[in-house]
Amino acid sequence: MPGFEGRPTLGFHLEQKPEIRPQYKAELKALLRLEQALRHPEMPDAVRGFEGIKVGNAILKEKGVSGVLIGGLAEAVWRSARPQDLARRKDTDILVLTPDAELEDFEGGIDWWTRKEEHLEVSGEFGKSTGPIRWWENANGIVLGFRPEVTGELESGLYVLSPEEVISMRLNETTAQLGNADVEQESLALFETAILKRLGRQLMVPEVADAVGGRILSQGHGYRKAQDTEIKSFRMPTADYGAIKKFKEGSE
């Protein structure tokens, strides 16, 4: 080009982001809509945010049982700059890990998710079988789309999941609603990325860690991982989910 001979070029260039296929965009939107649809209605007299964490931990300690924070508050603890920011969450969801824990419905203003187990007939790919099926539900009878698996010893009190496990929980809960529908792996990866962006800062307010006695199941985020304990979530198998739904409809 005339007039530019011998001039140095700029030390950067524009990089184009890879184009996301329309199918993946559509599936991502469907997953995000489904996740929003899973948000449960606000319960009466709910205790919110940081106060809910403190109350839930105190009740668990008093009863000598263990639980883990789930739902929107499990995300919010990793992206909120101050304890008072957590009050924007509508309620406090705690999954109770100890079998047969004695808790009243919505005790202390907490939405408790407790373990259930029944011998159910399951219709799978290779026929029918009968055996023990376990799941977690709250006092409104809503069934979680995932199951927790614990490795190591648990103390009484409230545990907080790592950001990575929060993402896994959200993915398992959402995809459990899809039944046998196929979703591309690329779309699932985009969904995980969307949740990761939502988590944002991934630094916990120190007051939260103190409120649960340091039971933070995370490393590399400024906190020592609690003991050698791990709590992971696994998607509820479609056949099991269907058997539970059928059982609950028959018992109503």
pLDDT in tens, the chain (252 residues): 444 334 343 343 444 455 667 676 666 666 666 666 556 666 668 899 999 999 999 999 999 999 999 988 998 888 877 888 888 766 899 999 999 999 999 999 999 999 999 999 998 777 788 999 999 999 999 899 899 999 888 999 999 998 889 888 888 888 877 776 777 788 788 878 888 888 776 667 788 888 998 888 876 555 555 567 889 988 888 889 889 989 998 876
- pLDDT given at position 31: 64
- pLDDT given at position 64: 97
| Among 111, 84, 108, CA closest to 96 | 111
| Two structure tokens written together for 103 | 């808790």
- pLDDT given at position 229: 82
- pLDDT given at position 54: 96
- pLDDT given at position 14: 40
Angle in degrees, 0-180, between the axes of helices 22-37 and 163-175, rounded to the nearest 10: 90
Q: What is the pLDDT of residues 155-191, one digit of tens each?
A: 999 999 988 898 888 888 888 777 767 777 887 888 7
Sign of the torsion angle spanned by Cα atoms 100, 104, 108, 112: positive
- pLDDT given at position 177: 77
